[in-house]
Amino acid sequence: MNKKTVKDIDVKGKKVLVRVDFNVPLSKENKGEIADDSRIKAAIPTIDYLLDQGSKVILMSHLGRPKGEANPEFSLKPVAEYLANIYADKFHFLPSDTVVDEEVKAGVEKLEDGELALLENTRYVAGETKNDPEFAKELASLADLYVNDAFGTSHRAHASNVGVASILPSAVGFLIEKEISLMGKALEAPEHPFVSILGGAKVSDKIGVIENLITKVDTILIGGGMAYTFLKAQGKEIGKSLLEEDKMDLSLSLIEKAKENGVEILLPVDVVVADEIKDGAETEIVDIDSIPADKEALDIGEKTAELFASKIKEAKTVVWNGPMGVFEIKEFANGTNQVAEALAQSDAVTIVGGGDSALAIENAGLKDKITHVSTGGGASLEFLEGKDLPGIAAIEDK
Ligand code: ADP
Ligand code: MG
């Protein structure tokens, strides 16, 4: 990784503006309650490092979609209360409907070395998502240095990342460093065999990922809803399974491209079928040549799960994106869970990207056994597509 990190810049006594991802889920019953604090926890190492170094830390984040205006429903107040519990009187919440104003500036001026402040939701201001230079200037005026540690929004060019980075000296925090060094290494210098497992609902969501990986991996295992477009294109009866007719040609050309690159593509050899997608649905495992015309394939079958697990077992690098079935429903979660288990048992470098795949790993309680589960859904997908993420590209090189 050639981006400056917090360790490459002198932060002592400096005011450091840090973009974090505090876009936490709030519980539906009790609006003020944080339902899952893992994103806050993920930001703590960078915050604590800066405080230990004697910086004055100014945190900023978005929360939900207030659509460019102040709205208490999307206030970062619950996060402020959480931080006040950890940092006590070292912490100061500086809320403003315009995020930055004279009072906020005065509050920042009063910070002592080793203290931290939190600004209000950056998306209270319409200029945030438009990367408006005026708003970026206002934010940048608060600090001497900028640190981006919000991986989950790095695929967007907003005022609080790209805008501020174009004004202040910049670096990435530990979370982004981990994301891009682990995923970057897996993609750029993988140990072979390199196996990728791809699934999820649609081929169209994953074209970029397949096209990028097809030149790097040894084997691609395809499951999930997208598998049926590939199977149909090869002449199989898929019943009522998910089909993107307009992607059948593309799936054939991807298979062709894989052949040219000496990449093995494996599709399901058996599947779990049902009449409908619902809890308690009656299911049956059938061979891939025997999908009934009136049924829908909603998970990979036992033989396929074993086949995929055996490929994962031989691998030295594994990248997984997209569940093998409708894992939200118990009856169709087996394939996804078995793949998750195979990753957990593997000694390979294992990387999981994508919001739903990360959730599946989390649900299975296997997160600790995976080398890296990416914290950014959309951002990790774009990373796997080989795209430059603007919020990271904007940071100074070493
Ligand atoms: P990720 O967020 O990990 O990138 P996706 O969003 O692409 O994954 O895909 C997840 C969705 O794919 C899940 O909601 C799951 O129910 C759906 N899915 C997986 N397999 C099937 C299938 N056979 N039929 C219909 N939907 C499926
Ligand atoms: Mg998803």
Same domain? 139 vs 204: no
| CA pair distance 146, 18, nearest whole angstrom | 6
Residue 165 backbone zone (phi > 0: left; psi -120 to 50: alpha; other: beta): alpha
Q: Is the CB of 353 under 6 A from ligand 1?
A: no
- Give me the helices (H) in the chain, please: 38-52, 77-87, 102-109, 133-140, 164-165, 174-188, 203-213, 227-233, 248-260, 302-314, 334-345, 355-363, 377-384, 390-393
Same domain? 115 vs 197: no
- pLDDT(30) > 80: no
Average pLDDT over residues 262-277: 97
Q: pLDDT tens digits, residue range 288-317?
A: 999 999 999 999 999 999 999 999 999 999
Q: What is the CA(342)–ligand 2 centre distance, in A?
A: 21
pLDDT for 299: 98
**End position of a domain, from candidates 175, 202, 223:** 175
- pLDDT(31) > 70: no
Average pLDDT over residues 5-10: 97
Q: pLDDT tens digits, residue range 232-255?
A: 999 999 999 999 999 999 999 999
Helix axes 334-345, 302-314, angle to 10 degrees: 20
Q: Is the CB of 298 under 6 A from ligand 1?
A: yes
Domain at 37, CATH number: 3.40.50.1260
Average pLDDT over residues 38-58: 96
**End position of a domain, from candidates 134, 154, 175:** 175
Q: What is the CA(381)–ligand 2 centre distance, in A?
A: 9
112 DSSP assignment: P
| CA pair distance 235, 242, nearest whole angstrom | 15
- pLDDT(120) > 80: yes
pLDDT for 1: 67
Catalytic residue numbers?
39, 202, 355, 378
Asked if 32 and 78 count as a contact pair (C-beta separation under 8 A), the reply is: yes
pTM to 2 decimals? 0.89
Q: What is the CA(174)–ligand 1 centre distance, in A?
A: 30
Which structural domain, as residue segments, surrounds residue 129? Answer: 6-175
Same domain? 127 vs 237: no
The structural domain count of the chain equals 2
Q: Which of 206, 222, 286, 326 to mutate to test the pocket of ligand 1 (most atoms within 8 A of CB)?
A: 326
- Give me the helices (H) in 189-222, please: 203-213
